[in-house]
Structure 1
Amino acid sequence: MIARPTIRRLSGHVIDLIAAGEVIERPAAALKELLENAIDSGADRIEIALLAGGTGRIEVVDNGCGMTPDELLLAVERHCTSKLIDDTLVQIKTLGFRGEALPSIGASARLRLTSRTPHADTAWLLAVDGGIITPPVPTAGVPGTRAVVEDLFFATPARRKFLKSPRVEAGHAESTVRRLALAAPHCAFLLRMDDRVVLDLPVQTPLSRAQAILNETDALHPLDEQRQELHLTGFLAGPACTRSTATGQFFLVNDRPVSDPVLKTAIRIAYRPLIEPGRQPVVALHLRMPMEALDVNVHPAKTELRFADEAAVRSLVIGALQRGLGRGAGGGGQRISLQRARPAIHYPPPESHPPVTPVSPVPQRVQGGFADTGETFAPAARRLEPPVAAPSVSGQSYPLGAAVAQVLDTYIIAVAEDGDLVLVDQHAAHERLTHERLLGQFGAGRIRAQRLLLPEVVDLPSRQADQLLLHREMLSTLGLEIETFGGGSILLRTMPDLLQGSDPSTLLRDLAEELFDDPDLTPGDASAVERRMDAAIARMACHGSIRAGRRLNADEMSALLRQMEQTPRAATCSHGRPTWLKLSRTELERLFGRIR
């Protein structure tokens, strides 16, 4: 028979080791706790030195308020803190508050704390080795606190086996410093790794700190919106500035760096119509809200939280980002990176060169297309129908400048007002214009359609045809009226006005793939349909846009630039690719070797 187990009380040492495993899982976690203590101490300068990514040594020096000998002893005792003003765990205004960080580090490593208050005659040194405390002794030291951690996890060898290489651990540590540095622009940060300076940040404005942390100098746009007691500020990069991972996304809630699924989801939804699948936007957001409206005491690491009203937070973030992104092409573009844009120049035969016609930056009056030239466009490259006539010239700004040429029958060359060179992809730009018009009509209730003189018969695989017919009511709101024609054939009776001239069969096949590869999509499921609607409209916009290879005249090029400046989200096409790029004089001179 198996002996009956008995319940026993764990020793204080074992309790400390268990708790340490929750708080300190890798060097970056220990560094995070030390940095939070330094920021909470009122420091305006923090220096960090790491060896082997923190696996060898972690040192954090601050010029904060310091600690007395008695406070040093309490600081390494579990659940002792100076940061809670009451016992409700609601009014938490500091980064730390649980009183677990230093005891956890001391339980699993060798910890040395040297601290001195501003008016003390001497500093005091306290040592903790695997939970064993050596009382404070006088020592030399300047006001502030110096924390040194060595032999991390020597007391918990099982945890040490799971450490990654020093290079990987260094990456996590640097990310930790960057997150906290973003949260405290009032504080200078110096980070050394193996005697190499990695970060040297002075006291900065929030914008300068965001630019330094995100490695973006001129692509960030400010954000400031308030809804009742929720206040969202921060900076966002345009949709043409993306990364392959989410390392360029930073979230603060009441000055606390967090990793929250609600905020991540909101950002993904806001950027989804604008960026390529698999790419990640670049943002730094700070949400301020009443302390009573969230719970930060969710996990010992304090990076997770719960919102009392997740829907309100999600709605504010999505709406604010969409409004921030909803600017015309004049609201910011993408400069060419010289490291990835050494152009290979190809010269086509002279007879294939399009005419180079100087164009005034003053827009032409647009009527039936880009400009009223009387020229007939080829199918799938019909003339654009602008919503209004072009604006008057007085006091008007034209950031994309004057179109001067078209090259390869695909790219428009323009000179901006500041003299910079602007390159426009005509298909990508027109695709965005068409997309926004389709969205506007859809938002008004229904996309305007025109009945075909001869209905088009489109043959599809039976599964796709059945799905299209199953959702014919939804398709009718997109301007596509269909009915069965037997077997896998579909009879198309109407096409959206903006897509006249497009190939109906290709359009329906693409829509079948775009809309109905979602197994959860069922008739009447509004949320599921909404998930795919913008993607479907984006696919329709692509079919209704002028193509690369279509030669434009001077008036058409100029009209395209003017409409881009007036159209929301015109910096990228419907698939997230840039519609225009800019080269400054400095960048041109560097390309030609005039400067270095």
Structure 2
Amino acid sequence: MSIRQLPDTLINQIAAGEVVERPASVVKELVENALDAGATRIDIDLEEGGVRLIRIRDDGGGIAADDLPLAVARHATSKIASLDDLEAVATLGFRGEALPSIASVSRFALTSRHNGEEHGATLPVDGGRLGNVVPKAHPPGTTVEVRDLFYNVPARRKFLRAERTELGHIEEWLRTLALARPDVELRLSHNGKASRRYRGDGGIATAARIAETLGEEFSKQTLRIDHAAAGLSLHGWIALPTYSRASADQQYLYVNGRSIRDRSIAHAVKQAYADVLFHGRQPAYVLFLELDPRRVDVNVHPAKHEVRFRDARLIHDFVYRTLHDALAQTRAGLVAGVSTATDAASGLVATEASSTGLWRMPQAPLPMRDLLPAGSAVADARAGYAALYGQPATAAVAEFPALPQANDGEVPPLGYAIAQLHGIFILSETVDGLIMVDMHAAHERIGYEKLKQAHDGAGLRTQPLLVPQMVAVSEREADVAERESATLAELGFELTRSGPQSLTLRSVPALLAHGDTEALLRDVLADLREHGESRRIAAARDELLSTMACHGAVRAHRRLSLPEMNALLREMEATERSGQCNHGRPTWARFSLAEIDRWFLRGR
């Protein structure tokens, strides 16, 4: 066949294959246009999951009647005019492909009234064929109607899912937008019934909008992130490790207000959670990355789902360090203790919960033998307990540390130990309830963090090989090894390139010398090629130290004295990431007095 020019309608239908995947894609493009036009309220009406009808109404600046045909012309836009504009795109839409692509695969109508005009105008487009612009009454703003999506492309229509599935995709994208634009009111109706409404409350994303979109549980278990450096700014929320997900369904990333997917940043987040997340679980987060638009290329994907960073390695490290440092502060008992008050008349120390009848013993308690009548069932039970665990039956409770007086400072976040349960859990009383601690998991984390600090302080030692080892690699891997030789040396690998597809390995990290160093080197090279940096050495080292800490931690069914339990609680409060063990399991749980009251129906 000879080369020929494709008709405009076919060109737009081909473009629709890239831009319009499903009804949610249409909603995304049209709503982003409304936001670029300055809309503060957007109404979305759907029928049959958007297949039968998508109607988007906004109160933005509108389009002049003379510009309506240009709005549906290919590569016509008001958002860029030169290469400089393209390199610093600050709007959500700019390619000039969305409207003509959507209009080519639907029965389309564009109605708008510009702020400076007395009345509106409408332009119908049927399968890419333009009608005439005619006057029509319309408030300031724009309405776009998309009926019978893919009616003229039956092969594409067959790939659409059930009505409920397509509606679910639209609702999920709307949730994504609501997190980024709390200043805009969003209303969604389906088949004539109101479905969703996000009120516009102004400002940046708030905790209220987080709770509204992702639920109260997410908002209660998050850490606020706000950090800026090197011309980069990262803010938002990350969930505590205990709030993990089976899938990546609550991971929202925005770059300059644009929702995107980026493998490099996702990798940085995963690395930041590596030490605290239970295996197989996914972190949850809402993160906003702000940077100079000239440092990011948003024109790399037809649907604008992906971007390309000029300083990808810097951004990866910035995100990782920010989240890593924030998660390091997730110590057990994160909520500060509450100061106590003393009742001088009674000599008893009352807590905030004293109104419910919780009182502590005075600081010089009487011996247990004086508190229990001789021959009582409780005294006999205590005597049997003492005989079983090798403690004298007449031991006084004087070793039980009382809550400090008000002038002694605040109650520690994890309170004071009162007992051990089944030789596994420590029970601790706080001013507002009860805390349970898994003593093995907690001690494991404490030991692990100490081992890491000791190893980091001593520096990474290398071990020379008696006989240099030849490693066969691909040419690309050899290029990476040669280019990143300084980085590899910092990681403990001393090597030289001995051929187009071979390396000579002369020394390896001492701590990992007995493992499969060749496989480890290949993994490091793969990371350096894809992400520009690698934590494989640190991860392998941490895995080894974690095993050492696990074996050195206090074992279950070992009886601890009260001073030992309290010492463990104090170390937990001072240790980074002590809220989880090395394997991501929680180390402690809090039960408030109000919650315990509900167990026993108190106050009802």
TM-score by length of 2: 0.74
1:368 counterpart residue number: none
1:187 counterpart residue number: 184
Q: Distance in 2 between matches of 1:412 and 1:129?
A: 72
Shift of the 358–527 alpha-carbon distance from structure 1 to 2, 3 Å rule, reads closer
SS at match of 1:61: strand
Q: Distance in 1 between matches of 2:70 and 2:333?
A: 58
What aligned pairs does 1:106-145 form with structure 2 within 5 A after superposition? 106-145=103-142
| Cα contact 2:22–2:160 (8 A) shared by 1 | yes
1:291 counterpart residue number: 293
SS at match of 1:243: coil
Shift of the 475–427 alpha-carbon distance from structure 1 to 2, 3 Å rule, reads farther
Tell me the matched-pair count. Answer: 491
| Cα contact 1:123–1:141 (8 A) shared by 2 | yes
1:329 counterpart residue number: 332
Q: Which has the higher contact order (CA 8 A, sep 6+)?
A: 1
Same amino acid, percent of matched pairs: 39
| Cα contact 1:90–1:292 (8 A) shared by 2 | yes
Shift of the 15–528 alpha-carbon distance from structure 1 to 2, 3 Å rule, reads same
Which residue identity is paired with 1:106? A
Q: Distance in 2 between matches of 1:541 and 1:78?
A: 63
Q: Distance in 2 between matches of 1:110 and 1:139?
A: 18
What aligned pairs does 1:415-434 form with structure 2 within 5 A after superposition? 415-417=429-431, 419-434=432-447
Is 1:401 aligned to 2:399, yes or no?
A: no
Q: Distance in 1 between matches of 2:426 and 2:549?
A: 20
Q: Distance in 2 between matches of 1:48 and 1:420?
A: 48
For each residue in 1:349-396, what CA deviation from the matched residue of structure 2 results, as whole angstroms up to 9, or x when unmatched? 997799999644569xxxxxxxxxxxxxxxxxxxxxxxxxxxx99545
| Cα contact 2:523–2:536 (8 A) shared by 1 | no
Q: Distance in 1 between matches of 2:195 and 2:281?
A: 30
SS at match of 2:206: helix
Which residue identity is paired with 2:154? P
| Cα contact 1:19–1:104 (8 A) shared by 2 | yes
| Cα contact 1:27–1:53 (8 A) shared by 2 | yes
Is 1:437 aligned to 2:450, yes or no?
A: yes
Is 1:101 aligned to 2:98, yes or no?
A: yes
Which residue identity is paired with 2:213? I
1:200 counterpart residue number: 198
C-alpha displacement of 1:8: 1.1
Alpha-carbon RMSD: 3.3
1:163 counterpart residue number: 160
Which residue identity is paired with 2:205? P
Q: Distance in 2 between matches of 1:80 and 1:185?
A: 30
| Cα contact 1:446–1:477 (8 A) shared by 2 | no
C-alpha displacement of 1:332: 6.0
Which residue identity is paired with 1:224? D
Higher helix share: 2
Is 1:575 aligned to 2:574, yes or no?
A: no
C-alpha displacement of 1:121: 3.0
Shift of the 447–317 alpha-carbon distance from structure 1 to 2, 3 Å rule, reads closer
2:270 counterpart residue number: 268
Which residue identity is paired with 1:230? L
Q: Distance in 2 between matches of 1:523 and 1:95?
A: 37
| Cα contact 1:214–1:282 (8 A) shared by 2 | no
Q: Please identify, of 163-172 and 12-21, the stretch whose mean Cα deviation from structure 2 is larger.
A: 163-172
Shift of the 135–329 alpha-carbon distance from structure 1 to 2, 3 Å rule, reads farther
Q: Please identify, of 290-299 and 67-76, the stretch whose mean Cα deviation from structure 2 is larger.
A: 67-76
Q: Please identify, of 543-552 and 241-250, the stretch whose mean Cα deviation from structure 2 is larger.
A: 543-552
Q: Distance in 1 between matches of 2:429 and 2:460?
A: 36
Structure 2, unaligned runs of 5 or more: 337-380, 392-396, 462-504, 526-533
| Cα contact 2:460–2:509 (8 A) shared by 1 | no
| Cα contact 1:332–1:571 (8 A) shared by 2 | no
For 1:414, which of 428, 441, 445 is the aligned residue?
A: 428
C-alpha displacement of 1:63: 1.9
Q: Distance in 2 between matches of 1:527 and 1:283?
A: 22
1:342 counterpart residue number: none
Q: Distance in 2 between matches of 1:226 and 1:181?
A: 24
Give every structure 1 segment of 4 or more consecutive aligned residues whose post-TM-superposition deviation is greater than 6 Å: 349-357, 522-526
Which residue identity is paired with 1:411? F
1:214 counterpart residue number: 214
| Cα contact 1:522–1:528 (8 A) shared by 2 | no
For 2:556, which of 548, 557, 568 is the aligned residue?
A: 548
C-alpha displacement of 1:188: 2.1
Q: Distance in 2 between matches of 1:13 and 1:397?
A: 73
Is 1:565 aligned to 2:562, yes or no?
A: no
Q: Distance in 1 between matches of 2:603 and 2:200?
A: 29
C-alpha displacement of 1:474: 6.9
SS at match of 2:299: coil
Question: Larger C-alpha radius of gyration, 1 or 2?
Answer: 2
| Cα contact 1:220–1:237 (8 A) shared by 2 | yes
Q: Please identify, of 194-203 and 8-17, the stretch whose mean Cα deviation from structure 2 is larger.
A: 194-203
C-alpha displacement of 1:24: 0.5
| Cα contact 1:65–1:118 (8 A) shared by 2 | yes
Is 1:77 aligned to 2:73, yes or no?
A: yes
Which residue identity is paired with 1:206? A
| Cα contact 1:85–1:91 (8 A) shared by 2 | no
Shift of the 114–477 alpha-carbon distance from structure 1 to 2, 3 Å rule, reads same
Q: Distance in 1 between matches of 2:565 and 2:188?
A: 50
1:379 counterpart residue number: none
